[in-house]
């Protein structure tokens, strides 16, 4: 038997049929087909409220659209947060339908001219990733006769300890090495750009509050040093995100109240050059990850050499990360449950597999569940972020699942 990750708190106490935003899993599948992604707007709103309560009042909250670009989710989040961060022209289009351009920033390496063009014409902020990209952006803006809003993404000389994905402190395709940033800021202003500040992202999916506190303090110090060297105060400092959520057995939730207290202190004591700056935290997974559940029906229940397999109509083509094939070296089980028998003790060890003809397609490996018959429903949790769009949905030619955002009535 292998352990599974902890269920998000809104689902951990449920008994009997799983409900999402008050609706029964079986009714949802009957109405919308299987497999199905269901997102609960109230859980997203609760995460935003918790963030607001924990963090200093002046701090802005941005939603990273890439975590879940389902248009109703983007619209719901846009109503709750101060800004949307996008990573492509496609995401920019979605964001522009939900939020004014002034509240949208666009980061990501390899922005093509047509993407720079779209952001500049819309009036969104471009987080430039290199000197070359800044030059291209200024040239495009000049052709349009407009002033581009340009922030500088910084490749910091610091690293987020305990980060699931390290994105700073080393040679990186992201951002401009900190030591070259002041010169770039001056070049942007000299070139006619409206310099919007810094974007400093040191890592993601961290569960260690101490590491995040340390990184945020170092990020503030770095922003102050770069501003002083540039001789200009940044209108906004995007401090990055990196707030993780528990995925696997043994993971503990992040103590964001501790982070908020430390950040309040750090902001109170910030250097004079940052006194008029705004600050933002950019989150994706932490805001929406736990709000999503992937429901899939058991098509076949079979025995092989002493093992029991529940073969579902879902799989890694929808939930690649849960299969352990995206960004993880060792496969571990996501939180998974028998949706029809929540709260019942596990009575048999089964492997839950998908319908793809590859041994990689495993949603739960030797997990302990109550008995689930053919036609039963399996729920894989933490499906609200990096789920469907981060999976090879065309693999093996299965039809796309529905997605659904539920508001509690």
Rounded to 5 degrees, what are φ and ψ at 328?
A: -125, 150
In a 13 Å sphere around the CA of 302, the CA atoms on its Cβ side amount to 8
- Judged by CB, which is closer to its own copies: 61, or 352? 352
- Judged by CB, which is closer to its own copies: 323, or 340? 323
- Choices 141-149, 230-238, 265-273, 313-321 (CB under 8 A): range interacting with its own copies: 313-321
Residue 119 contacts residue 126 (beta carbons within 8 Å)? yes
User: How far, in Å, CA of 243 to CA of 285, rounded?
Assistant: 8
Q: What angle in degrees, to the nearest 10, is found between the helix axes of 256-268 and 41-54? A: 40
**85-104: contacts with its own copies (CB under 8 A):** 86-91, 94
- Judged by CB, which is closer to its own copies: 146, or 390? 390
Whose CA is closest to 189, among 144, 227, 157?
Answer: 227
**168-227: contacts with its own copies (CB under 8 A):** 170-174, 177
**51-80: contacts with its own copies (CB under 8 A):** 65-66, 69
**How far apart are CB 223 and its own copies at their closest, in Å?**
19
**282-311: contacts with its own copies (CB under 8 A):** 299-307, 309, 311
**248-267: contacts with its own copies (CB under 8 A):** none
Residue 217 contacts residue 211 (beta carbons within 8 Å)? no
Instruction: Enumerate residues 6+ apart whose C-beta is below 8 A from 145.
Output: none
Q: Which residue has the tokens 């670009």?
A: 69
Q: Quick check: 277 binds its own copies (CB under 8 A)?
A: no
- Judged by CB, which is closer to its own copies: 28, or 86? 86
User: How far, in Å, CA of 196 to CA of 365, rounded?
Assistant: 48
Check residue 318 and report its DSSP letter: T
**332-371: contacts with its own copies (CB under 8 A):** 351, 353-360
Q: Which residues pair with 348 in a beta bridge?
A: 369
Copy the structure tokens of residue 101: 């351009």
Instruction: Enumerate residues 6+ apart whose C-beta is below 8 A from 304.
Output: none
**How far apart are CB 242 and its own copies at their closest, in Å?**
13
Q: Quick check: 327 binds its own copies (CB under 8 A)?
A: yes
Q: Quick check: 161 binds its own copies (CB under 8 A)?
A: no
- Judged by CB, which is closer to its own copies: 19, or 127? 127
**How far apart are CB 203 and its own copies at their closest, in Å?**
9
User: Contact with its own copies (CB under 8 A): which of 155, 215, 216, 219?
Assistant: 155
User: Contact with its own copies (CB under 8 A): which of 107, 160, 281, 322?
Assistant: 107
């Amino acid at each position: 038997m292998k352990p599974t990750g902890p269920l998000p708190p809104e689902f951990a106490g449920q008994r009997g049929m799983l409900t999402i935003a008050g609706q029964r899993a079986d009714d949802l599948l009957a109405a919308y087909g299987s497999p199905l992604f269901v997102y609960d707007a109230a859980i997203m709103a609760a995460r935003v409220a918790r963030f607001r309560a924990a963090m200093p009042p002046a701090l802005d909250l941005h939603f990273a659209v890439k975590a879940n670009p389902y248009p109703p989710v983007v619209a719901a989040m846009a109503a709750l947060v101060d800004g949307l961060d996008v990573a492509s022209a496609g995401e920019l289009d979605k964001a522009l339908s939900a939020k004014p351009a002034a509240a949208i920033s666009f980061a990501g390496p390899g922005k093509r001219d047509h993407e720079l063009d779209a952001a500049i014409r819309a009036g969104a902020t471009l987080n430039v990733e290199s000197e070359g990209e800044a030059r291209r952006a200024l040239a495009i803006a000049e052709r349009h006769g407009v002033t581009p809003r340009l922030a500088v993404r910084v490749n910091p000389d610091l690293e987020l300890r305990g980060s699931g994905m390290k994105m700073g402190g080393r040679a990186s395709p992201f951002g401009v090495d900190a030591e070259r940033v002041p010169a770039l800021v001056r070049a942007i202003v000299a070139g006619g750009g409206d310099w919007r500040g810094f974007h400093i992202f040191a890592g993601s999916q961290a569960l260690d509050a101490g590491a995040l506190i340390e990184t945020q303090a170092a990020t503030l110090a770095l922003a102050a040093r770069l501003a002083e060297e540039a001789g200009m105060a940044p209108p906004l400092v995007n401090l990055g995100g990196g707030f993780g959520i528990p995925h696997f057995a043994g993971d503990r939730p992040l103590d964001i109240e501790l982070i908020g207290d430390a950040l309040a202190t750090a902001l109170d004591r910030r250097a004079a050059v940052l006194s008029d700056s705004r600050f933002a935290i950019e989150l994706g997974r932490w805001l929406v990850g736990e709000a999503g559940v992937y429901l899939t029906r058991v098509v076949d229940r079979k025995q092989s050499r002493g093992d029991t397999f529940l073969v579902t109509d879902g799989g890694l083509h929808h939930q690649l990360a849960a299969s352990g094939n995206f960004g993880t070296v060792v496969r571990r089980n996501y939180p998974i449950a028998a949706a029809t028998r929540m709260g019942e003790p596990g009575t048999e060890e089964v492997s839950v597999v998908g319908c793809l003809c590859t041994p990689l397609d495993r949603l739960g490996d030797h997990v302990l569940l109550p008995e689930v018959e053919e036609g039963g429903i399996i729920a894989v949790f933490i499906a609200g972020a990096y789920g469907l769009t981060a999976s090879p949905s065309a693999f093996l030619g299965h039809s796309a699942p529905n997605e659904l955002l539920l508001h509690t009535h």
